[in-house]
Structure 1
């Protein structure tokens, strides 16, 4: 395990797979105290056992970002374990791709609930504490789809555009709290495994198989952002596969 001179307490949502899991691995390896949350507690527990065996400080907590009380419980667990909250990585997300004409309204609502409401819940749960202590860092995972809109991705893009706008407003309102937006392109995750139309999800999977970069590349960017001095705020990082257009 590498060592850092300024270990932080970092909370990561959606940590049972993909970018969240990779970020937990990366930050734990750097020596940060990592509190990991997700609905799939079996995966969280297995990850915690593995990382603890390597000497990491890892706390798994069952979490559903669509419920504010669940997020508050997640934050309280971090405070009980470590006494502080330095970084929140709002990573939990879902992507159900389909044309608007399919009227998959339940999936639209789920994307809004997880991708946007979940980010707001995270902010609401940590912001008072960060303002009280006069420091903190909120990392919101958006997407390249928060910069462009493709067919079948209108609602997903809308939620990610909203995350970018929300992050900029949060940054401007808080001079002592750093805010970073991470916008990945095609990345090896489970996002295309559930929901959406058969055609749209298959096309996304095919593109990901041809182009995708590992989730660890996104984790490295998050590690870089939170590792900067307090007076340096990395506002946005867009990370694409070199071949992605």
Structure 2
């Protein structure tokens, strides 16, 4: 997938895993569209990558507000006529405390950023991904998965950061499986991964205070899903690192997937 015409969009590119992946992908020819919340930090990253082989484009948006997610989509359509890879990397960890937070739209914050935003991006950017076929959607999820309580989807009761984070990643994976079944693998593949365990990122430091794997392990795992020729027609899979693995069993339940998809369509107002 290394061509001068390749266009890759990475969300959450100004820090942690997203930044490290961006730095690596920038060394390949093509176009790299980098998203971040803060324009100043994006510009600093672009300066750092000024000698890279890829041409760099920058887009800013707060992913906890759906109107800004839609604005981000519009900006990407202005920048390119196709996408080869969408990396849904931006996310929020479990947090330092078990204090429930809401997004600008009134959704539970981790649900909004970790699931609703990438859902909207994936569906609304499908025309660009289809034009760039064969293309790939890479969902940066987690091994920390908890099934959604359909009676309390916004985690309004018995809230913990672990529960909110785990549910958001579970739903990301399960709806990714659902989307993969709707799209021809030769056109767009959709795969999710747990990149590595407790990498040295700000998110991990805030939530856990210690690390396990190094950042390079996570970068290699994401690059594997972006670039491996062996995965050209592989879709609807969950990876732990670079190996295929099993997500939470309920993520494979067709009824659960259907309910989660319908709920997400209702929350976002976006349909396939």
Superposition TM-score, scaled by structure 1 size: 0.78
Specify the alignment match of 2:226 in structure 1: 226
Output the aligned Cα RMSD. 2.8
- Cα distance change, pair 120–51 in 1 and its aligned pair in 2 (3 A): same
1:186 equivalenced with 2:198 (yes/no): yes
Find 1:205's aligned residue among 186, 204, 209.
209
> Deviation string for 1:183-207 (max 9, x for gaps)?
132112111455xxxxxx3xx113x
Quote the offset at 1:132 in angstroms: 5.8
Q: Which runs of 5+ in 1 are unaligned?
A: 195-200, 241-245
Specify the alignment match of 1:106 in structure 2: 101
- Cα distance change, pair 133–35 in 1 and its aligned pair in 2 (3 A): closer
- Cα distance change, pair 213–147 in 1 and its aligned pair in 2 (3 A): farther
> Deviation string for 1:19-41 (max 9, x for gaps)?
11111111111223110111122
Find 2:177's aligned residue among 168, 174, 180.
168
CA distance in 2, matches of 1:236, 1:6: 29
CA distance in 2, matches of 1:8, 1:133: 8
Q: Does structure 2 retain, via aligned residues, the 8 Å contact 1:26–1:220? A: no
- Cα distance change, pair 134–68 in 1 and its aligned pair in 2 (3 A): farther
Alignment of 1:99-138 (within 5 A): 104-106=99-101, 109-131=108-130, 135-138=134-137
- Cα distance change, pair 228–141 in 1 and its aligned pair in 2 (3 A): same
CA distance in 2, matches of 1:33, 1:223: 16
Quote the offset at 1:51 in angstroms: 0.8
Aligned residues: 221
Quote the offset at 1:8 in angstroms: 1.6
Q: Does structure 1 retain, via aligned residues, the 8 Å contact 2:82–2:131? A: no
Specify the alignment match of 2:25 in structure 1: 27
CA distance in 2, matches of 1:27, 1:54: 9
Q: Does structure 1 retain, via aligned residues, the 8 Å contact 2:37–2:62? A: yes
Quote the offset at 1:18 in angstroms: 0.6
Q: Which runs of 5+ in 2 are unaligned?
A: 148-159, 243-272
- Cα distance change, pair 169–28 in 1 and its aligned pair in 2 (3 A): same
- Cα distance change, pair 67–131 in 1 and its aligned pair in 2 (3 A): farther
